[in-house]
Amino acid sequence: MTDEIFDSTDSIRSAAPLKHVQYFELSGPLELECGARLQQVRVAYETYGRLNAQASNAVLVCHALSGDSHVAAHDAQDEPGWWDVLVGPGKDLDTDKYFVICPNTLGGCRGTTGPNCADPATLKPYGGSFPNVSIADIVKVQAALVEHLGIGQLLAVIGGSMGGMQVLQWAIAYPDGVRCAIPVATAARLSSQALAFDVIGRNAILRDPHFHGGNYYDAGRPGEGGVFLPANGLTGLAIARMIGHITYLSRQAMAEKFGGNRHQPRSIRSEFEKDTSVASYLAHQGDKFIERFDANSYLLISRAMDRYDLGEGQALRQSLAPARCRWLVAAFTSDWLFPADQSMEIVNALLANGQGISYCNVRSACGHDAFLLPNEVATYGGMIRGFLEQASRATPAQAAAEPELDADGRQADTSIFHGRRIDYDLLEEVLASQASSSQPSVLDVGCGSGQMLLRLKRRGWRRLQGVDIHESAVLACVQRGVDCIQADANDGLSMFADKQFDVVLLSRTLQAVYNVDRLVEDMLRVGRCGIVSFPNFAYGPLRDMLYNQGRAPEAQGLLRYKWYDSPNIRFFSIADFQQYCQDKKLTVHRMLALNTETRREVKEDPNRQADLAIFVISRG
Amino acid sequence: MTDEIFDSTDSIRSAAPLKHVQYFELSGPLELECGARLQQVRVAYETYGRLNAQASNAVLVCHALSGDSHVAAHDAQDEPGWWDVLVGPGKDLDTDKYFVICPNTLGGCRGTTGPNCADPATLKPYGGSFPNVSIADIVKVQAALVEHLGIGQLLAVIGGSMGGMQVLQWAIAYPDGVRCAIPVATAARLSSQALAFDVIGRNAILRDPHFHGGNYYDAGRPGEGGVFLPANGLTGLAIARMIGHITYLSRQAMAEKFGGNRHQPRSIRSEFEKDTSVASYLAHQGDKFIERFDANSYLLISRAMDRYDLGEGQALRQSLAPARCRWLVAAFTSDWLFPADQSMEIVNALLANGQGISYCNVRSACGHDAFLLPNEVATYGGMIRGFLEQASRATPAQAAAEPELDADGRQADTSIFHGRRIDYDLLEEVLASQASSSQPSVLDVGCGSGQMLLRLKRRGWRRLQGVDIHESAVLACVQRGVDCIQADANDGLSMFADKQFDVVLLSRTLQAVYNVDRLVEDMLRVGRCGIVSFPNFAYGPLRDMLYNQGRAPEAQGLLRYKWYDSPNIRFFSIADFQQYCQDKKLTVHRMLALNTETRREVKEDPNRQADLAIFVISRG
């Protein structure tokens, strides 16, 4: 078993003192949500890069349960940071462009006021007497720091896991203080399962015979930076950490790390079980954690996380209502501690509130750890980079004027069709004609890389939202400044509220969807009207092919796939769709037929002459 | 929070003495796999029903980690059993028909010799000196009991979780002793994740200050049945149990139990954290477990489970090679402790070994607990009932002669087609003509309720295997005595070895499959030849409909679905498939065309006159 299997999450953190930490003392006492008051609060933080003259390039990074202010190495000689994969010069969170701030949380044990610090009233460690802190308290202290640094509005707040909860809290508690929120691998409240793991970890600590109600410090011997150290190592803290480590990894990641060499443990000194590779890993992680982390901080911060609860459904919508920032939400497919459906709940609430948002469920085998590991940084890091670049442009017009965006129309936009998107010209015209207001809202389902939405954005339309099933589509949209969430159109559009959009667009999407009925129904629930474009299966050459050659229709243009490899699985004609609308009692407001080979609109016998149709429909 | 949320898994077990326990003493010392020897071994067991004259109706039930011999209540006054949902008079494991035996495992703490018993050498409790036991040792003791009861061959061995491991061990260690093996929610070896949870539980016990190396009994005061009780409750055992309980439940089940009433804990007396509903649940489960279970047994049995390792892939195939029984394997979709892919590994190894097997991944939200709960018993219990009924018939001919099976042909077999299956007559003929041996083997992919396989079974063919995506299809097959595994044809047939079958059949399946290429390729890897039947999309009336009416083809018979709700997603003609075979360099040995409306074979212009085609193909 090699050493690298021990490199997981923030286990690279050591107990070594942090060389670049700065300190900020709050000007007065801090009132906590629980009603208690802390007379003195000191914040340990690190910064990277330079704040620009307008103070508009500051990004606050919020750390997770056991993290600290050392988000990245400051130079080649420095200790590694816990988010080195993302943060640094030239990296996705580019410290050459942005001023990055990372404070240790209130109640932590790495410099910011916490239970291992001396209570000014007694000069003894707070220990078990440290008051309960909440995520709101943690964010309040961060806000004081941000103000102290002369920043009126953060360009972005970003954080994973419990750090993501702080991002949510920033967005709702300081709506004017944040332009962009990037919650990663997080939740608006813990799942009951995650809560249960925390409960067990705390039980192990609380029932440890050395815990003594939290007063376990060697009070006569304060360590570096005035913090106190435990007189005895707490086995319970190691047990809690071991449980944590399982929840940070996916089953697959554990199988890869420990499956092959199960009976070849690493030779380590430990009093814990160590006769399998996974046991030696857990023993090592447990032992190491005792050395560097404080049990009272663990209890305190895990309780803050457990108690954070923005509710579900309608309650969550209300909780998030004050937010006014732009959103990029990321989850990871194999994360079961903060699973993607919990990110999706946040996304749904924001969508139902009418906020533009991008969301990606990044494919990963790494579990919750994925946000800290290099494996998926190309995807989610690329999104963060693109999102921040778009967000840091001064005006929307500037954002839309990117030269690279002029490629629109010169390349295939989706995998289904090729050739110049003449249908987009027509669609744009139809959309403009349907717009009842000067700021019509459009939902594009199956938006691909967002070209249609970008066209509308250039028209000055602002209430635009894309949906696509592919990670790559979300990435492309985010890089263009187009909001896009990752979702499968087969599952319907339940994340959107009734009549939330003026127009819902299905541009060459419906023929690739299995659950046609469900999608059309949801489309007309969510949109005041629907615009559907689809290839016409009764186009003359296709008819000929089946009739005269007895072969599955296949054409050069729209239907160029073979019967066995086509992404299209529903074949219907203009006449079929007309019949469908009639059967389902849908009103057809307009029908445009197009021949994409001749690039002309078809007026005569469209069901034979056109290879593409555009319908504008609504319910009733 | 109501009481029923506390009723989970075997938490219904109390510490109350078991009234119907019988004891059996091994005639000599027991040599253990670890090399140690136990001088005296006593087995506590319970039986239900009567052994018939031929001793052919005995079913052995193997319990899981914390179970005992009390699998079911013996009468209305009796304590509930841990598998009452399945076992009892008239139930799926029907004690009116079968003689059910359930012993407490070796090393357990409920009557069978274990660490809480007196060591005959010292008359003190074994405690920490009890030797390591293995799953093989546990099964060896069970085999001695079975022999003692006068049973030469068990009709079946059944068990879930660690009980399922014992089932596997029975099948390979006593191949002549078992007719049917029913491993439920189990694995051929624990996942690294499951192993890790066990490690942490053991660490909590081993580092408990009251553990004293396992010698924690009040040695002067043996309890009921001569077993010793701990002098102090072990917090570590409660922690281990709490971890266990999370792993028994699915995330969804926990959300349902504890999500709504998170901040309404049950009022309980406990020294554990109890300020949320889930915390009070865990505290209750932990406290209760200390009262009824022995920490040394927990260590011993969890280690036996952790060390059981039949390998993976080729090694697993070899491990399972000695088995000669029939198999029914069941997993549950939301079980993440013994996830379905681990059952599938067992299934794949058995399939590659050429063993007939039925397998179902039962849809459930209950997690690992599902096998003990009433929720899914209609499905998996029904399978067990049908499987045992089929297995307990004396001869295969008898099995195939069921009156209910004569309904074949009078009802729709799949959801795709209706009408009398005239194509089956032809398929049967083609199959018979392709059979190179008198015992040809056939794999039917998309077998539905198994009608085609049943026809072949009646012909006397024995090497038959079905595959279907639907749980209901597996159930129907099992009830008919047809082996069927649940799998998605879109994922290919990787579970089968090269050239494992004489014929692979795709009867009206291909047109409903997205990944056509992959399936056809795998079909011809696994089978010496492939037989594909499919609806002909170039059938005259269909051509007419598109050509003359400009409408998606839809017919009364084979293609009666609408374009938007059809299960068919691939449309191709006889000519298309011929071209496909040519392009892919497949040899077409035979082509039969059929008109299912006229019920005749079509010789002239089949691509226009036939609505169904049957191809016999092979690679190269």
Q: Which of B28, B11, B219, B259 is nearest to B115 (CA)?
A: B219
Instruction: Please report which confidence band the pLDDT of residue A412 belongs to, taking 50, 70 and 90 as the band edges.
Output: very low
Torsion of CA B328, B333, B338, B344, to 10 degrees: 50
Q: Confidence class of residue B9 from pLDDT cuts 50, 70 and 90?
A: very low
Q: What is the pTM of this model?
A: 0.93
Is residue B549 within 8 A of residue B580, CB to CB? The reply is: no
- Residue B5 pLDDT > 50, yes or no? no
Span A59-88, average pLDDT: 96
| Helices B295-307, B135-148: inter-axial angle, 10-degree rounding | 100
- Candidates B335, B413, B483, B522; catalytic one: B335
Asked whether the ipTM of the predicted complex exceeds the cut of 0.90, the reply is yes
Residue of B479, B610, B597, B475 lying closest to B536 (CA atoms): B610
d(CA B240, CA B14): 18
Q: How many helices (H) and strands (E) does chain A have?
A: 18, 22
Distance, C-alpha B461 to centroid of its chain: 25
Q: How far apart are CA B185 and CA B167, in angstroms?
A: 11
Phi, psi of A427 (to 5 degrees): -60, -45
Task: Please give the positions of A annotated as active site.
Answer: 161, 335, 368
- Residue ranges of E strands in B267-418: 326-332, 357-362
* Structure-token pair, residue B585: 């360099």
- Closest C-alpha to B103, from B33, B28, B183, B23: B23
Report pLDDT for B289: 95
Q: Between A398 and A257, where is the model more confident?
A: A257
Instruction: List, for residues A333-385, the tens digit of each pLDDT value.
Output: 999 999 999 999 999 999 999 888 999 999 999 999 999 999 999 999 999 99
The whole-angstrom separation of Cα A384 and Cα A377 is 10
Categorize the per-residue pLDDT at B233 as very low, low, confident or very high, splitting at 50, 70 and 90.
confident
pLDDT of residue A141: 98
| β-strand partners of A58 | A99
Q: pLDDT-based confidence at B393, cuts 50/70/90?
A: confident
Is there a contact between A506 and A531 (Cβ–Cβ < 8 Å)? yes
Contact A552 B576 (CB under 8 A): yes
- At residue A415, the pLDDT reads 30
Nearest C-alpha neighbor of A38 from the set A112, A104, A101: A112
The tokens for A524 are 């007309």
* CB half-sphere exposure, A323, CA atoms < 13 A: 32
Contact across the interface for A200 and B576, Cβ inside 8 Å: no
Split at pLDDT 50, 70, 90, the class of B256 is: very high
Does B259 or A477 have the greater pLDDT score? Answer: A477
For the segment A448-463, the average pLDDT, to the nearest whole number, is: 91
pLDDT, tens digit (0-9, with 9 covering 90-100), for B476-526: 999 999 999 999 999 999 999 999 999 999 999 999 999 999 999 999 999
Q: How far apart are CA B82 and CA B71, in angstroms?
A: 5
Q: How confident is the model at residue B2, as a pLDDT? A: 39
In this prediction, residue A220 carries a pLDDT of: 73
Least trusted range by pLDDT, from A68-82, B12-26, B76-90: B12-26
| CB A127 within 8 Å of CB A216 | yes
Tell me the mean pLDDT in the region B531-541: 94
Higher-scoring residue by pLDDT: A267, A134: A134
Determine the distance in angstroms separating the CA of A571 from the nearest CA of chain B, rounded to an integer: 6
Strand pairing category for B527-535 and B501-507? parallel
pLDDT band with cut points at 50, 70 and 90 for residue A3:
very low
Compare CB distances from B193 to A251, A276, A514 and report the shortest one's residue.
A251
**Residue type for position A348:** N
Which residue in the list B66, B134, B161, B392 is annotated as catalytic? Answer: B161
The 8 Å CB, 24+ separation contacts for A83-90 are A83/A372, A85/A372, A85/A373, A85/A374, A85/A377, A85/A381, A86/A377, A86/A381, A86/A384, A87/A48, A87/A61, A88/A48, A89/A49
Is B341 a residue whose pLDDT tops 70? yes
Angle in degrees, CA A81, A84, A85, rounded to 5: 155
The answer to whether the beta carbons of residues A614 and A588 sit under 8 Å apart is no
Q: How does the average pLDDT of chain A come out, rounded?
A: 90
Model confidence at A401: pLDDT above 90: no
Average pLDDT over residues B592-597: 91
Q: Which tops the pLDDT comparison, A434 or A609?
A: A609
Task: Identify the residue among B198, B199, B314 best suited for mutation to test binding to A, counting A beta carbons within 10 A and taking the highest.
Answer: B199
pLDDT for residue B204: 98
Report the alpha-carbon distance of residue A427 to residue A301 in Å, rounded: 52
Strand B441-445 vs strand B463-468: parallel, antiparallel, or unpaired? parallel
**CA nearest B228: which of B303, B129, B132?**
B129
In this model, does residue A192 exceed pLDDT 90? Answer: yes
Q: Do A262 and B195 lie within an 8 Å CB cutoff?
A: yes
Q: Which residues of A touch B552 (CB under 8 A)?
A: 537, 571-573, 576
Residues of A in Cβ contact (< 8 Å) with B613: none
Task: Find the mean pLDDT for residues B534-556.
Answer: 90
pLDDT tops 60 at residue B180: yes
- Partners of residue B243 in chain A, C-beta under 8 Å: 200, 243
Residue A558 has pLDDT above 60, yes or no: no
Per-residue CA distances from B338 to A580, B8, B160, B223, B247 (Å): 46, 17, 10, 35, 9
CA distance, residue B119 to nearest chain A CA (Å): 26
Q: Which of A385-389, A450-454, B333-337, B422-426 has the lowest mean pLDDT?
A: B422-426
CA distance B214 to A432: 79
Cα–Cα distance between B310 and A361 in angstroms, integer?
36
Q: What is the pLDDT of residue B279?
A: 97
Please give the average per-residue pLDDT across A543-571, as a whole number. 85
- Tell me which amino acid residue A577 is: F
Chain A residue nearest residue B548, CA to CA: A543
| Percent of chain A scoring above 70 in pLDDT | 91
**Cβ distance of B563 and A576 shorter than 8 Å:** yes
Yes or no, beta carbons of A546 and B565 under 8 Å apart: no
Q: Inter-chain contact B339–A251, Cβ cutoff 8 Å?
A: yes
Residue B279, Cβ density class (10 Å: 0-12 exposed, 13-18 middle, ≥19 buried): buried
DSSP B406: G
Using alpha carbons, select from B473, B481, B576 the residue that is nearest to residue B532: B576
Contacts of range A322-325, beta carbons closer than 8 Å, 24 or more positions apart = A322/A171, A322/A172, A322/A173, A322/A175, A323/A171, A323/A172, A323/A175, A323/A181, A323/A350, A323/A353, A323/A355, A324/A175, A324/A176, A325/A171, A325/A175, A325/A178, A325/A179, A325/A180, A325/A181
Which two three-digit tokens encode residue A26? 């709050």
What local confidence, expressed as pLDDT, does residue A556 receive?
Answer: 61
**pLDDT higher than threshold 60 for residue A264:** yes
Q: Exposed/middle/buried for A481, CB within 10 Å: 0-12, 13-18, 19+?
A: buried
Q: Cα–Cα distance between B466 and B489 in angstroms, integer?
A: 11
CB B494 within 8 A of CB B518: no
The answer to whether the Cβ–Cβ distance between B195 and A251 falls below 8 Å is no
**B354 three-class SS:** coil
Measured CA distances, B504 to B434, B443, B531 (Å): 11, 5, 6
Question: What's the average model confidence in pLDDT over B34-61?
Answer: 97
* pLDDT tens figures, A569-606: 999 999 999 999 999 999 999 999 999 888 889 999 99
Q: Which residue of A has its CA nearest to B583?
A: A562
Q: What is the DSSP letter of A543?
A: H
* CB environment A370-408: b (16+ within 10 A), e (fewer): bbbbebbbebbbbbbbbbbbbbbeeeeeebbebeebeeb
Give which of A192, A298, A521 to mutate to test B binding, by max B Cβ within 10 Å.
Answer: A192
pLDDT band at B407 (very low <50, low <70, confident <90, very high): very low
> How many angstroms separate the CA atoms of A412 and A408, rounded?
9
Average pLDDT, rounded, for chain B: 90
Best B5, B203, B609 member to test A by mutation, with max A CBs in 10 Å, is B203
CB contact under 8 A, B193 and A249: yes
pLDDT confidence of residue B429: 83
Domains of chain A: 3-307 (3.40.50.1820), 399-619 (3.40.50.150)
Task: Judge whether residue B6 has pLDDT over 70.
Answer: no
Instruction: Give percent of chain B with pLDDT exceeding 90.
Output: 80
pLDDT of res. A34: 96
Quick check: helix, strand or coil at residue B345?
A: helix
Q: A557-591: string of b/e by CB count within 10 Å (b at 16+)?
A: bbbeebbbebebbbbbbbbbbbbbbeeeebeeeeb
User: Shortest Cα distance from B462 to chain A (angstroms)?
Assistant: 34
Q: Which of A390-399, B288-297, B309-318 has the lowest mean pLDDT?
A: A390-399
Provide, rounded to the nearest whole percent, the portion of chain B with pLDDT above 70: 91
Rounded to an integer, what distance in angstroms lies between the CA atom of residue B574 and that of residue B404?
36
Predicted confidence at residue A88, as pLDDT, reads 98
Give the three-state DSSP class for B104.
coil
In terms of C-beta density within 10 A (0-12 exposed, 13-18 middle, 19 or more buried), how is residue B445 classed? Answer: buried
Which residues contact residue A506 at a Cβ distance below 8 angstroms, ignoring those fewer than 6 apart? A445, A446, A489, A519, A523, A530, A531, A532, A533, A534
What is the predicted pLDDT for the residue at B515?
A: 95
Q: What is the mean pLDDT of residues A132-148?
A: 98
pLDDT at B455 over 80: yes
- pLDDT given at position A398: 54
